[in-house]
Amino acid sequence: MSLNLVRDRWLPAVLASGRVERIAPWELTRADDPPLDLAPPRHDFRLALLEFLIGLVQTACPPKNVTKREQWYDAPPSLETLRQAMEPYARFFELLGERPLFQQDLTLDPEAHAKSAIPIGALLINYPGDSSLDFFVRRDIETMCPSCAAMALQTMQAFAPSGGRGNRTSLRGGGPLSTIVLVENLWQTVWANVLPLNARDVEPAPTAEGLPGAVFPWAAPTRTSENGKVFRRADGHFLHHYWGMPRRYLLLPVEDHARCDLCGDEAEVVFHQLIRRPHGYNYGEDWMHPLTPYRRQSADKPWFSGKGTSYATAYTNWLPLVYGDSNGLAEPARCVQAAREDSADIANEYGLLAGGYDMKSAKCRGWCEGSFPILPLDGEVVQDFRTEVETLVKAAGMVRDNLTKAIRTAVVHTSNPARSKAFGSSFFADLSASFWADTRAAFFVAARELAEVVKAVASDAKVKQGWARALRDEADTLFMRVAGPELTHPDHARRASKAFNEMRKLNQGVYKNHLGGTITAKEAA
């Protein structure tokens, strides 16, 4: 059995009919029952496979300019056109057989390292180590089919976290956040993230002789990183961003008719083990992945990739993910910047998918994923829009802080230590999460209205008034939900009532100072 990741049907996709079927990459543009989305057995695989397809199309057939990009968005190329464009690169995408093998070290000797082979489940980022006490992560991933092994390999190389001595992080650091422009079908989603060749720093694929190493690191002897040796941007090619290989792996296929522990399909050739060696590519800070947002602490500091923290997909982070910030310390992913420059009739169809692993050093705390709108705005009004939206977010943060302080005052007291014990740090973290989740819809209503306001150079008073009311209502609701019983308790009512009134007074100051005084004393009563 062989599996070529360009030629063969291995990608599980949801079709327009609702069926799930495996497709080849060159079938993205099929007209009969077109693929709408990917349907892999794990959430993290989906984002990694989208990155795989974007990288493949960026390598094989990038548009010359924005005009060409918009043409293929509306009228996709034929299957044959896409297949012919990808075919010259197919030899670099074999998973089994003679090397080079996709995302696997070219020179590792399977016989020399056979005794140190590890379980195939180690390809999964949240797979527990031998000493792990995490009972909530499956340990029974003992068999993978070739398709799932390819997905796991792509995911690990794209999102590689800290992994012990010599096990390098991904090209964009450990636990990176990925942001993908999302559209209603799979081809449009992939194509909307492919950068035109006339964009800054974008390069076409080199000739065949220049592909090994510079573009496809698994096709040349690995540039190992003993003693901290660094692989700089100048040492590679622009397309290397999509094909980074920080980890040194070699899969060990066996002929063993078995069922895959991930997807449940049966295969004649499967994987139970792999070889892993340290000191793969060690990427320098000068690599900036086109599908990842970046931040810096000040204008003279280097950029670092956005991370997949548990709050990364909250609306408080929406502005820097899509538009950057007003002080130039946050930069959206290159794919998002390019999408915002597309014509309005196309850009109006765009959304944003953001996802990544929430990592604490080498410990995986979970996969985080969320979606956001993208509002088409030209360069002249973006700065005004940033300023206005930052005001909304700042006001929300202050109201949340006042709410937390009031509830802490009302319910955490020494007269009832057993009850107070229930209100620990995790409770207040959940309270904050509820506040952000419950105000999300109102925030995006306000953001859309502000977009129209700044384009029309009109007054924003009505929009801010609506946002102030939404914040007031949510703060009052959450206070009553948590501390309401204190208001009727004979021993605690005074304390709780004082806390509630103080919260309202502080929030009134927020509305006045940051949202134009839009909640009157009568409304706040």
Tens of pLDDT, residues 243-269: 999 999 999 999 999 999 999 999 999
Residues in contact with 325: Cβ distance below 8 Å, sequence separation at least 6, in sequence order: 319, 386, 390
pLDDT, residue 519, reads 58
Mean pLDDT on 474-497 = 90
Confidence band of 130 (pLDDT split at 50, 70, 90): very low
Confidence band of 523 (pLDDT split at 50, 70, 90): low
Write down the residue that tokens 């089994």 correspond to.
Answer: 96
Tens of pLDDT, residues 261-313: 999 999 999 999 999 999 999 999 999 999 999 999 999 999 999 998 877 77
Confidence band of 521 (pLDDT split at 50, 70, 90): very low
Is the pLDDT at 136 greater than 50? The verdict is no
Confidence band of 518 (pLDDT split at 50, 70, 90): low
pLDDT, residue 313, reads 77
Is the pLDDT at 352 greater than 50? The verdict is yes
Q: Is the peptide bond before 100 cis (omega within 30 degrees of 0)?
A: yes
Tens of pLDDT, residues 435-463: 999 999 999 999 999 999 999 989 999 99
- Give the range among 136-140, 175-179, 216-220 with minimum mean pLDDT: 136-140
- Give the range among 32-41, 319-328, 332-341, 378-387 with minimum mean pLDDT: 378-387
Tens of pLDDT, residues 365-385: 889 999 999 998 887 799 999
Confidence band of 420 (pLDDT split at 50, 70, 90): low
Decide: 134 and 155 in contact? Cβ < 8 Å. Answer: no
Is the pLDDT at 22 greater than 60? The verdict is yes
Give residue limits of the domains in the chain.
Answer: 11-277, 377-525
Taking the C-alpha atoms of 153, 157, 163 and 164 in order, what is their torsion angle to the nearest 10 degrees?
Answer: 100
Spatial distance between the Cα atoms of 475 and 66, rounded to a whole number of angstroms: 46
- What is the chain's mean pLDDT, rounded? 92
Decide: 443 and 392 in contact? Cβ < 8 Å. Answer: yes
Is the pLDDT at 489 greater than 90? The verdict is no
Spatial distance between the Cα atoms of 322 and 331, rounded to a whole number of angstroms: 8
Spatial distance between the Cα atoms of 366 and 350, rounded to a whole number of angstroms: 27
Tokens, residue 326: 């007003």
SS3 assignment, position 115: helix
pLDDT, residue 453, reads 94
Pairing of strands 363-373, 351-360: antiparallel
Tens of pLDDT, residues 62-115: 999 999 999 999 899 999 999 999 999 999 999 999 999 999 999 999 999 989
pLDDT, residue 138, reads 52
